[in-house]
Structure 1
Amino acid sequence: MNTKILKIVLVGLMAGLCYISFMFLQIKIPTPGGFTSFHLGNTFCVLAALLLGGLPGGIAGAIGMGIADLLDPAYVIVAPKTIILKLGIGIITGLVAHRIFHIQHKQGKALWKAVILSATAGMLFNVIGEPIFSYFYTAFILGAPDNAAKALASWNAITTTVNALMAIVISSILYMAMAPRLKNNGLLKKIAPKE
């Protein structure tokens, strides 16, 4: 199979996993400024960035969770914010994984460390960016009262931190389980970015 087609198919698969894990594996929390949630969507955005690189991983997260937002009346108005943040998660995770740590060339404990730190970098971006972006987006773009925007940002800080911890742990375990098998059959070399 052509490598470009394979990557496109895998971006679509990861976008589907982002969509399903956000849409159906979440606990919604209403706040005065809108909804926030505990979910597993970021897990597959990070996994996609580890496997495919930053931009494809970010695109998978942006498409999957962006579509989920557009199809959910509680989140439809924040879809642009989601698309930007998920793209950022993927780009940062992939940049750290493939340009700084060169994870395709690591093994054992060094690979575990590089994968965990790469996932943490992407999720740290989200933990910092989500509440800040949420406040400004809710207050200035959506025109919500300041107290409502602050309440949503406060709840987002909590849910985003929990989501980040889950994403780091689960995506790292999944990558470490998948990478040796993909490497043995030659697929990892085809789908990972050129370093």
Structure 2
Amino acid sequence: MRIATKKLVLCALMTAIVFLITFAPFLQIPSPISQGYYNIGDTAVMIAAILLGRRYGFVAGAFGSALADLARGSFIFVPITFIVKGIEGYIVGAIARGGEENQPSNLRKILAVSAGALEMVVGYFIFELVVIRMIDKSLSVIAIVTDLPGNLIQGALSAVLALVFLTVLYRTKAVKKLLR
């Protein structure tokens, strides 16, 4: 499989953007339950996946988000963030692109970002339920369930922001020039 230089550069750029948006302290809200934080980095993961496809969406989501956790010092979240955000990018790209190279329909984009947001919420919920509770025995299931609304808001806000930003990009024809 030959990787086009332009796609590789765009993937690296999107990975850096995912990192910056996830890591930016003024865009973070600490979680009152876990050692994690809420952010809008999923917006960039979703945009990368819709523009570049599932493979590049996986790479940008996994590496950009995990590196942000690493740089922030949230070491316990690095492996799960790599997995959850990578799968999120893959799912969004797979649903939105559907194997086609042209612009995805609005319905495909909405389904894609919704599925990606839901996967993120479920992924972190399972991680907190299993791994964090092994480390912190005092953490109750109820406490983890109370963290769900924050993750749901993060996913929903990121999905809406991604759709708005993509609408602007597609209307200005910037995407066609960028991906040509």
The answer for the alignment partner of 1:9 in structure 2 is: 9
For residues 105 and 43 of structure 1, what CA distance do their matches in structure 2 show? Answer: 18
TM-score computed with the length of structure 2 as normaliser: 0.86
Identity of aligned pairs, percent?
26
Which segments of structure 1 move beyond 6 Å, counting only runs of 4 or more? Answer: none
Q: Residue type of the partner of 2:65?
A: M
For residues 129 and 152 of structure 2, what CA distance do their matches in structure 1 show? Answer: 16
Out of 154, 158, 161, the residue aligned to residue 149 of structure 2 is: 158
For residues 162 and 35 of structure 1, what CA distance do their matches in structure 2 show? Answer: 18
Name whichever of 34-43 and 85-94 sits farther off.
34-43
The answer for the alignment partner of 1:193 in structure 2 is: none
Q: Using a 3 Å threshold, how does the CA distance of structure 1 residues 104 and 152 change in structure 2: closer, same or farther?
A: farther
- 1:38 deviates by 2.2
For residues 61 and 140 of structure 2, what CA distance do their matches in structure 1 show? Answer: 25
The answer for the alignment partner of 1:144 in structure 2 is: 136
Residue 127, structure 1, aligned to residue 121, structure 2: yes
The answer for the alignment partner of 1:85 in structure 2 is: 84
Number of matched pairs: 176
- 1:133 deviates by 2.2
Deviations 1:128-162 (CA, angstroms, capped at 9, x unpaired): 2221122212134xx221x4163663243122101
- 1:113 deviates by 2.2
The answer for the alignment partner of 2:168 in structure 1 is: 177
For residues 11 and 103 of structure 2, what CA distance do their matches in structure 1 show? Answer: 23
- Is the CA contact 1:135–1:152 (under 8 Å) kept in the aligned structure 2? no
- 1:92 deviates by 0.6
Residue 53, structure 1, aligned to residue 53, structure 2: yes
For residues 159 and 15 of structure 1, what CA distance do their matches in structure 2 show? Answer: 24
- Is the CA contact 2:36–2:77 (under 8 Å) kept in the aligned structure 1? no
Q: Using a 3 Å threshold, how does the CA distance of structure 1 residues 9 and 152 change in structure 2: closer, same or farther?
A: farther
For residues 72 and 151 of structure 1, what CA distance do their matches in structure 2 show? Answer: 27
Q: Using a 3 Å threshold, how does the CA distance of structure 1 residues 183 and 47 change in structure 2: closer, same or farther?
A: closer
For residues 101 and 144 of structure 2, what CA distance do their matches in structure 1 show? Answer: 34
